[in-house]
Structure 1
Amino acid sequence: MVERDTTGRAEPNPSTEADLSPVLADLFVARIPELIAQYRTRLTEISSPLVSDESVWRQCELQARRIFDDCARSLAAGSTVVTHITDVFDLGTERVRQGAHITHSVRAGSILSELTVTALSDCAERFGAPQAELFAAVRALQQGIGLRLESGSIGYDAFLLQRVREVHEQGQRRLAREIHDHIGNSVSLALRQIELYELKCERAEDDPASRHVRLAKDAILETIQHTRELVSELRQPGVTGSLETALRGFAASLGQSGAPLQMWVRGNDKWIPGAVAEELFIMVRECLRNTYTHAGAANVVVHIDIAPHEVHAEIIDNGKGFDAQALRAAGRGNGLLILQERSDLVGGTVNIDSAPGRGTRVTLWIPIAQERPTL
């Protein structure tokens, strides 16, 4: 399909004008190794942390190759193709752990865009193809980079928000301990002294006299009650509705690649201990990720019921379904195994009901241990 001159440059073949799009795609695919090398060089020149470590670069290279592949597919098909967007939500979290600010990802996206557009234009120029032939590929490039940055930034922000929340909750728990250990114990000791004084007066058959003593005792009892309430409030999770907010944020990060999501979260988030809420979020998120990545569903439904003693969640899709037993037997059931392990960590249960051709229903149940505040 592609004729080349003595220098190896591709030349248009007038007899195959109908096959121009696939030819452009093939030529662009041949340029991908060169583009990857240029991409790494440009990142090195600006001292980007994305190339400071080999494992970090491998992640960056993988996303670049996926974007290039989408551009090639879009060239060949004449319509925009964007894939693998759901895989990058955790990438924002990884960037935080790696010490790479989100601005480094934005700069990398700009470099990748420049290199890709230049390569696409060069391919079209060699064939004398009109720029309109590149529209689908350029849209795939724009959406591929934009949606990845959007999804990654949500993961980045979610991680930072979680860290802030953890620090805030640690501060609250520390304050609760200080109130309990110092103020609470001191007030309790004062109350004990008054009770001993009252007992001494009773044994001596004296009038425990004193209206002032009774008033002091009442004041101390009231202080103890207020202190208990304050300690209990400080020990409760600090953000209401965070579970639903986080899950809707993840769903929103999927952009146009996800099926419509219907979600109901009933109950009070304050009933869920922080560690349990985090595990529940991760489990539901992984179910959604698997649905959007593999199921090809037209509809996805999430029900979460929170009660003071338990959490019940269902994630349902009408996708193609799968054979869980066969998946595990083939050594490809790591996601299911991790889901089970996370459920075990919080003393819960997980049930996966699925079969090829009839969708999937994942049911989660997690008990909530009642914390009894003491002083």
Structure 2
Amino acid sequence: MPWRAGDQRLGQVAAYDSRRVEGFSREDTWVLQKAGLAAGLVWQLKYAERDLKRTAERLEKVDAARQMLLKNVSTAVDRARKRFAGDLHDDALQKLTAVELQLQRLREPNGDSAALLSEAQSLLNETEEALRRLLFEVRPPALEVPGGFLETIDERIRMLRSLTGAAVELQLDLPEDLSYEYRSMLFRQLSEAIANVEKHASATRVTVCLQVHEGGIRGLVQDNGRGFVVADQDRLPGHLGLLALNERALLAGGWNKITSEPGLGTSVEFWLPLTESKV
């Protein structure tokens, strides 16, 4: 008799040498058939239990990964809010406070009104530029426009040159059909690395590179600035930005590498895998 597990044939169930002279009866054949069927069901249950266990293990891993992703995303959002508030306070709001002090000094009888107004106007211009820059970082207007990605990068480089006075070499080799989500992620990563140069490097030369590499986009932001000890980065000003570079790349399935030495500049290199979705 065939030994089956559903439609899968596993072998045969056989009986030999009946004790009865007349041999095996039809009832014996029926019993043997049922024994083969029962053995097949046992086999099926064994393999179903094994598959169920594997599925449960996979689900546990998926759930653990989901919880870790949710935690990382929530942490990243909180850090982004703190950094936004910090940038607003350290730049634009401090300049507005300085303007307020200058305007208060206009009430002094011996104050130089023309000079005070000129300084206040200069501070207001700087405040406007700081707010524009902050809004640009949050949501670049051209990023959603077809063909606007290169324009967005050019504008970010213009800001870098304006803030630092550094000579910037830009190298771009990018596909034209990147999805909006990918363009946004890539711009955040690049802009974060550039912001580190603006705030901490005091560099005179900067190289910015984006190019297709091994199924993704490789980015490089390299400067000749003051540098730092990478092992001490968690205790340095701006360390949240460096942490965001690593976390964003890892969440995207890529990697980020920071190389630096005091007095020898800093190199931020990253790779983000290309996605299949296009726009």
Give the TM-score normalised by structure 2: 0.57
Aligned partners of 2:95 and 2:127 also within 8 Å: no
Cα deviation, 1:321-353, whole Å, max 9, x if unaligned, reads 011211225696322211111001211111111
Q: CA RMSD in A?
A: 3.5
Partner amino acid, structure 2, of 1:148: T
C-alpha deviation, 1:116, in angstroms: 4.7
Report the CA distance shift for 1:333/1:129 in structure 2 as closer, same or farther (over 3 A): closer
C-alpha deviation, 1:59, in angstroms: 5.0
Q: In structure 2, how many angstroms separate the alpha carbons of the residues matched to 1:146 and 1:291?
A: 23
1:154-165 matches, cutoff 5 A: 156=135, 159=139, 161=141, 165=144
Cα deviation, 1:239-276, whole Å, max 9, x if unaligned, reads 22x33321222333457422332212123231x33222
Larger-Rg structure: 2
1:143-292 matches, cutoff 5 A: 143-153=122-132, 156=135, 159=139, 161=141, 165=144, 239-240=146-147, 242-253=148-159, 256-260=162-166, 261-270=168-177, 272-292=178-198
C-alpha deviation, 1:140, in angstroms: 4.4
Q: Which sections of structure 1, spanning at least 5 residues, go unmatched?
A: 1-54, 70-112, 166-237
Q: In structure 2, how many angstroms separate the alpha carbons of the residues matched to 1:259 and 1:150?
A: 16
Whether 2:229 is the aligned partner of 1:323: answer yes
Q: In structure 2, how many angstroms separate the alpha carbons of the residues matched to 1:298 and 1:138?
A: 33
Q: In structure 1, how many angstroms separate the alpha carbons of the residues matched to 2:215 and 2:182?
A: 12
The SS at the match of 1:279 is: helix
The SS at the match of 2:107 is: helix
Partner amino acid, structure 1, of 2:131: G
Aligned partners of 1:243 and 1:277 also within 8 Å: yes
Q: In structure 1, how many angstroms separate the alpha carbons of the residues matched to 2:124 and 2:253?
A: 40
Give the match for residue 336 of structure 1.
Answer: 242
Q: In structure 1, how many angstroms separate the alpha carbons of the residues matched to 2:271 and 2:90?
A: 39
Indicate the structure with greater strand content. Answer: 2
Q: Which sections of structure 2, spanning at least 5 residues, go unmatched?
A: 1-83
Partner amino acid, structure 2, of 1:239: P
Report the CA distance shift for 1:357/1:371 in structure 2 as closer, same or farther (over 3 A): same
Q: In structure 2, how many angstroms separate the alpha carbons of the residues matched to 1:370 and 1:64?
A: 42
Report the CA distance shift for 1:67/1:257 in structure 2 as closer, same or farther (over 3 A): farther
Partner amino acid, structure 1, of 2:94: R
Give the match for residue 141 of structure 1.
Answer: 120
**Identity across matched positions, percent:** 18
Give the match for residue 235 of structure 1.
Answer: none
Report the CA distance shift for 1:364/1:153 in structure 2 as closer, same or farther (over 3 A): same
1:49-128 matches, cutoff 5 A: 59=88, 63-69=92-98, 115-123=100-108, 125=109, 128=110
Aligned partners of 1:303 and 1:314 also within 8 Å: yes
Q: In structure 1, how many angstroms separate the alpha carbons of the residues matched to 2:89 and 2:240?
A: 24
Report the CA distance shift for 1:295/1:348 in structure 2 as closer, same or farther (over 3 A): same
Q: In structure 2, how many angstroms separate the alpha carbons of the residues matched to 1:323 and 1:346?
A: 26
Give the match for residue 312 of structure 1.
Answer: 218
Partner amino acid, structure 2, of 1:145: L
Cα deviation, 1:48-76, whole Å, max 9, x if unaligned, reads xxxxxxx99x957973434545xxxxxxx
Aligned partners of 1:311 and 1:367 also within 8 Å: yes
Report the CA distance shift for 1:120/1:361 in structure 2 as closer, same or farther (over 3 A): same
Give the match for residue 74 of structure 1.
Answer: none
Partner amino acid, structure 1, of 2:92: Q
The structure 1 segments of at least 4 consecutive aligned residues displaced by more than 6 Å after TM superposition are: none
